Copies of this chain bind each other. A is one copy, B any other.
């Protein structure tokens, strides 16, 4: 077998010996680089295939100082928003020879710090990171890293390097303005209990700011933590309407709890949007299947993913390129749950 230890993995040398060609030439064939005669190429490929050789990228990366990996650090996979961002990223990277590698932080800053550290320690070709708020240590690492970095989702703040996102503060403001313009006056808010979801927090800030300018304030608010978002939306909505019967609009921090609230209102025979209006945030596909279309705002998830990946790819191809900050503009989808005036 040409090997003493049967459990050792194959190396270039094994392919070299099996094909009677130098390691260097084998390397060239396998990387499709430089000129190799067809005859040699065939012999090498045959030998590699027969042995079942898989190149060792660790050694290759160390020698070439090149790693075709792009780290993607996101808070969660389970809220329908990041999977779509990933779709955009994957679609773009597919044609660039770069591979996305996902890390999940669960909205915990210490997990983010650790994940960023781990990713950077693999010297990736780029890093895509959700949000603009990071620990001091994370920011220091990111600045030092020397790889293209794109902070995504949010634009309200100071990016370390490049950024692609929307203004959540403005999104909240816009929604509040639309609601007030439609004549609603007694507005309640429902959201998740997540101190580190800064984007939800900014939306609410913008929302309340616009209310204040209209001489209004939130009539009630409710937060939840864990469990089925749809169910929690129902429960919170029931609680709010019971506690504050004067409420005529329900603003949700995301579509999933908004959908739960909508189903609850319809169950109860509440006139929507006459007696009560509702709005969520994200523009998730799910809404298309509900009995009534929930008002929402598209968070530009796919486009955020594609633009971020494009920045990484471009800066990889041309290291002279500088940072780039791209703001996207979500559109308000009034659906059927806001009164038309």
Whether B54 pairs with A144 at a CB distance below 8 angstroms is yes
Give the distance in Å from the alpha carbon of A117 to the alpha carbon of B52 in the complex. 11
Please name the residue on chain B nearest to A57 by beta carbon.
B121
Whether B86 pairs with A104 at a CB distance below 8 angstroms is yes
**1/0 contact string of A47-64 vs chain B (CB within 8 Å):** 000001011111101100
Which of these binds chain B: A169-177, A228-236, A270-278, A308-316? A228-236
Please name the residue on chain B nearest to A79 by beta carbon.
B83
Say how far A90's CB is from chain B's closest CB, in angstroms: 7
- In chain A, residues 1-23, which have Cβ atoms closer than 8 Å to a Cβ of chain B? 7-10
Cβ-based interface call for A131 (8 A): no
Whether B62 pairs with A58 at a CB distance below 8 angstroms is yes
Please name the residue on chain B nearest to A257 by beta carbon.
B289
Cβ-based interface call for A102 (8 A): yes
- In chain A, residues 269-315, which have Cβ atoms closer than 8 Å to a Cβ of chain B? 285-291
Cβ-based interface call for A217 (8 A): no
**Among the listed B56, B78, B290, which residue makes an inter-chain contact with A80, where contact means beta carbons less than 8 Å apart?**
B78
Chain B residues with CB under 8 Å of A263's CB are: 289-291
Whether A58 pairs with B123 at a CB distance below 8 angstroms is yes
Give the distance in Å from the alpha carbon of A48 to the alpha carbon of B181 in the complex. 57
Cβ-based interface call for A129 (8 A): no
Q: Given A78-B87, A123-B56, A141-B52, A286 and B101 touching (CB < 8 A)?
A: no
Q: Given A144-B52, A229-B289, A9 and B78 touching (CB < 8 A)?
A: no
Chain A to chain B contacts (Cβ below 8 Å), 17 pairs: A9-B144, A54-B141, A54-B145, A56-B121, A58-B62, A58-B123, A77-B82, A83-B83, A99-B118, A102-B102, A228-B286, A228-B288, A228-B289, A230-B290, A231-B289, A263-B289, A267-B291
